[in-house]
Structure formats: C-alpha cells, structure tokens
Structure 1
Amino acid sequence: MSDNILRSRLYCRNCQIKQLHELVMNQDNQPLKYVETKKKKVKHRHNQDITELDAAKEVSLAASNSIHEEVECLFYDKYVIVKCRGCGETVSFVKMTTNELAIESVEEGKDPYTYKIYPEPPRRKYRLQGKYSFQHVPQWIKELRNEVVRAFEQGAILLSLAGLRMVTEAICKQHIDIISSGIDSNIEPIPNNLSLQKMIDILLDHNIITKPHHVILQKVRVLGNKAVHQFTSQDRDLIHIAIEVLDNLLYNVFDLEQSKLAQNDNFTF
C-alpha cells in the first residue's frame, strides 16, 4: 500500500461507510501535514506494548510498583488532510497519534496509529438515511438541507433548529417567486417583505402545501426562532421527525410533479 494511503479505513460522511483515505498533496507533491512530538515519562509494563491510553493510566500508579519501570517515550501527533478514495471528493481532517514504542514493536502490516477524523462520524442512532434523491429540488436548497442533516448528525441541536427554519424559508421564497411571476397584472402582487409566518400561509392558500404541512412548518418556524433568539434546545427525536417531514415536503413540492407517473398523459382513471 502506498505511503500516501492511510492503513486504516475511516468514516466518509458522503459514502456513509468506512473507506480508505489518501493524503491531500500540495503543489510540490508533498502531503499537507503538521507533526507535533511530545516527550513523556511513563510507567511501562514489562513485555507489553504501550499505548497513549496505557500511558495515561500508568502515570498515576505508584513508582514502587515492582512490575513497572519508568521510561521516556516520544509521542507523535500528526495532523493531516485526507480525501476519501471511495467517492474521490470528500475531504476531512485527521489527527494521527502514535509513540515510538508502538512503532518499534508493531507487527508487520499492522497500523501503529490511532485516528481521529473530523467532522466526527455521526452517532449511529442519529445517522440519517435519505429516502429521496431530490432530482428537481434547487441545488441551493438541497445543499442547505444537507448542511442541516450534517449538523444534526454531529449533535449540533441549535444549529439544526436554525437550519430547519432556513430550509422552511427557502421553500417558501422559491414558490412565492413562482407564484408572483404567474400573477395576473390586475391582481395585487405579493409584497417582498413578508414574514415567514405569512409566507407559509400563502403556500397553503395556493394549495402548494397541505394543512398538516402548514401546521408543522409554523411549528418549525417557532422552534427556529426560539433557537436563534432564546437559545432554546429541543429533543433530538423531535428534530429527527422534523427533518423527515421537511424531506417529504421537498419531494412533494419539487419532485412529485416531475415524476414519470405525473407526466404520463396516457394514464386514465
């Protein structure tokens, strides 16, 4: 395996599985990295490899313990930028940690490093599986929605709530622009400075959203306002449900009309 490829597989937030990663290189074909070394005196168990976790535990033991000896050990923290070899596009930041004893005693083919990748992998319970491909959702709204999902998976509750409100406003503005462009010249145009509450009402008035969607969007608006202005958090399961509802709404208001079945004029009832 090339020296530019990490030996251990790390989580890719795009592939949503563990993949091999390679170092990102600069213009001189050198890896973008920073190495920090630190020397520690640690208690080392005889005939046993040492790890940083072992070191933390052994330092606290009494020096009189006969099965330990005090040794000087260099620890290495290497910080690198990597790219997933699975999707070929996702870039992450990785902290690689090892020590000289681990490097000396490691078996051939084994990886002496431990890794910490950033952004961190989502907690398994809250790793969202997308149900929709969103073929016709405007790209800027899709990217906004994806940022909300990433924030939620990383446990950023307040950011998730603020982001959900932003997605709601994005949906409203996109459709109000469409409504405004089709309004008869004899009808009073829709003002530009509407509140989000009023914009949601207009979507209901024009049958773009259903009454249940209207109720939920108004709740998302209020929760987002409280998160931004009062720093009020909410239960993660509630946010999970809100994301799934907005996903369903995105599909209904952007993709459903463009589906093959909806476009098939030969279908008769």
Structure 2
Amino acid sequence: MNVVPEKLFCRICNRRTNHHLVTNEHGHEFKYVISHLDYDEVDIEFFEEYSIVQCRGCDTIAFLKKYGDEDMFHLIGPNYHSDREYFEEYTVYPEEPKKDTHEQLLQFNEKFEFDHLPDLISGIRNETINAYKHRMNLLCNTGIRMIIESICKVNGIDKKPKVRRGETVLDKDNNPVMVNLSLFEKIEELQKRNLIDEKQNNILNQIRDIGNETVHEIVRPKTRELLQYLNIIDFILYNIYELPNLNFAKKTSPK
C-alpha cells in the first residue's frame, strides 16, 4: 500500500490525516501523470501527478494533485548547485478550508483608485499584486523592487555621465558616456526632484535592502512584510500620480 508522505486534509475527520493511494482489484493505482516530457518545448522541468487517495482514519475518498519542478528546493549547504533538497507540493480536493481570520488580516485591499498611473508602472503593479494574492512571495518581492525601478524609469532617472578622475568621460563623438545608476542613487534622485520626501526615501531604501537580501541570500520574505510594502508603495504612487490631478475647486452655480 502506497502511503502519501505528507498528511492531507480530510473533510470528514476535519483535520490532516494519513492517506494512501487507491488501487483497483488488480493492484494498479488510479494515477495520471504529465510532465515537461509531454511537450515539445518547455522552459522548466516539471511534473504533475493526479491520483485518488483514501483517508486511513475514516476511509473517505479524495482527489490529490502532486506537483514538483526544478526550482522547488531548499538549500541545505553552501553550494547552490549541489546542496539542494527538492520537495513536492501536495494539494487535496476538496481543499482544506482557509483560516478566515488569518487570511483576512493578510488580504491586500486596495485603498486608492488609480487613474493616472503610467502603463509601465500599472502593469508591473498588477502582476505584483497578483503574485501576492497567490502567495508567490519571491515574485512579489521582486515585483515591488521593479515598481520602484519603473517609477524612476518613467521619470527619466536611470543613467548618469561616467566620470573618471573627476572628468566626464566622452565617446568618439564627444558625447558623455552614460552609465546606469544604482537603485540607491535613483531613490536619492527621486527625493531631489521632490517626488518623494526624506521619510519615503528611507522606506524605499529599506525595501531595496530587503529585496537585495531576498535575491542574493535566497531569503523568502514574509507575507505580512510584503503586505506592508505593497501598502507603502501604493501610498507613494498615489502621492506622485494622483494627488497632483485632484481638483477641489468649487463649481460656480449658473446665474
């Protein structure tokens, strides 16, 4: 009898219990598997396995999906390529009810209406929020950093003249050679242009530091922290793009 390695939610026991794969009278498991090998072109190695399972406590039948891919691993040592421990994701149907209180506290509720966001920023923001809602924390954190980068880009804050020994470096046409600004320098320039204030500068740099830690140290950001960052970013976006367009002038009554 093939027992599922991970405890699954049972709707009758109302808790996570041990399950085993159901077999027919010939001992064959009810299983269907697809993987990257079933496609001509695919960017990532993966597999999806669907099977029928049974609770070992109350015999209730459920449907199980097991998924794994080449990016699903934990680092267990200093070597990024060899010190990997791979894992799979188990999803049982009917699904385990979410804890309402916890989920409600961590929901992203939009506090502002945006009518004047540049398309570049709006697109990245929407994808970042979608990543958060699906608890793809690494992608969400990367998206938040990209929002900051996109604010700078649409305001023409991305490059500076290259300087060597105090002199501006020129190309063969006698034009300044331009180099990319670091994100720190871009945030500083946002403040110089009065697009953000000093406190917002400090906050954006804190988000930048945490983003660097996520990328370079492979640290998964916490959901609660990401929610705070999203709310802060939205507040800054509203200040930059919506407040200047608000009009509270009183309408004059026709005589």
Q: Tell me the TM-score normalised to structure 2 length.
A: 0.51
Deviation at 1:168, TM superposition (A): 0.8
Residue 210 of structure 2 aligns to a residue whose secondary structure is helix
Q: Deviations over 1:128-151 (max 9, x none)?
A: 111112100012211211221222
Distance of 1:202 and 1:266 partners within structure 2: 38
Find the counterpart in structure 1 of residue 201 from structure 2: 214
Matched, 1:202 2:189: yes
Tell me how far 1:217 sits from its aligned partner.
0.7
Unmatched runs of 5 consecutive residues or more in structure 2: 1-21, 26-51, 65-91, 96-101, 161-174
Flag structure 1 segments of 5+ consecutive residues without an equivalent. 1-37, 42-51, 62-72, 78-96, 98-113, 117-121, 181-187
CA distance in 1, matches of 2:234, 2:144: 11
Identify if the C-alpha distance between structure 1 residues 250 and 40 changes in structure 2 by more than 3 Å, giving closer, same or farther. Answer: farther
Distance 1:266 1:196, change over 3 A: farther
Q: Is the 8 A contact 2:157 2:186 kept in 1?
A: no
Q: Is the 8 A contact 2:157 2:189 kept in 1?
A: no
Residue 55 of structure 2 is aligned to residue 56 of structure 1:
yes
**Correspondence for 1:243 among 219, 230, 233:** 230
How much does 1:76 deviate?
A: 8.3
Structure number with the higher helix fraction is 1
The correspondence for 2:241, drawn from 232, 251, 254, is 254
Q: 2:149 aligns with which of 164, 169, 173?
A: 169
**What percent identity do the matched residue pairs reach?**
25
Match for 1:160: what amino acid? C
Matched, 1:231 2:211: no
1:161 and 1:224 in contact (8 A); partners too: yes
How many aligned residue pairs are there? 161
The separation in 2 between residues aligned to 1:59 and 1:167, in whole angstroms, is 50
Matched, 1:138 2:118: yes
1:27-76 deviation digits (Å, cap 9, x = unpaired)? xxxxxxxxxxx8646xxxxxxxxxx67x3336879xxxxxxxxxxx9x98
**Alpha-carbon separation, structure 2, partners of 1:192 and 1:251:** 30
Residue identity matched to 1:127:
Q
Q: Distance in 2 between matches of 1:59 and 1:237?
A: 36
Q: TM-score w.r.t. structure 1 length?
A: 0.49
Please give the alpha-carbon distance, in whole angstroms, between the structure 1 residues aligned to 2:223 and 2:187: 24
Please, what is the CA RMSD of the aligned residues?
A: 4.1
The residue that corresponds to 1:105 in the other structure is: none
Distance 1:169 1:265, change over 3 A: farther
Native 8 Å contact 1:200 1:214 kept in 2: yes
For residues 39-188 of structure 1, what are the structure 2 equivalents within 5 Å? 40=24, 55-57=54-56, 123-176=103-156
Confirm or deny: 8 A CA contact 1:163 1:224 kept in the other structure: no
> Once the 2 structures are TM-superposed, how far is the Cα of residue 238 of structure 1 from its aligned partner?
2.0
CA distance in 1, matches of 2:176, 2:251: 37
CA contact (8 A) 2:63 2:94 kept: no
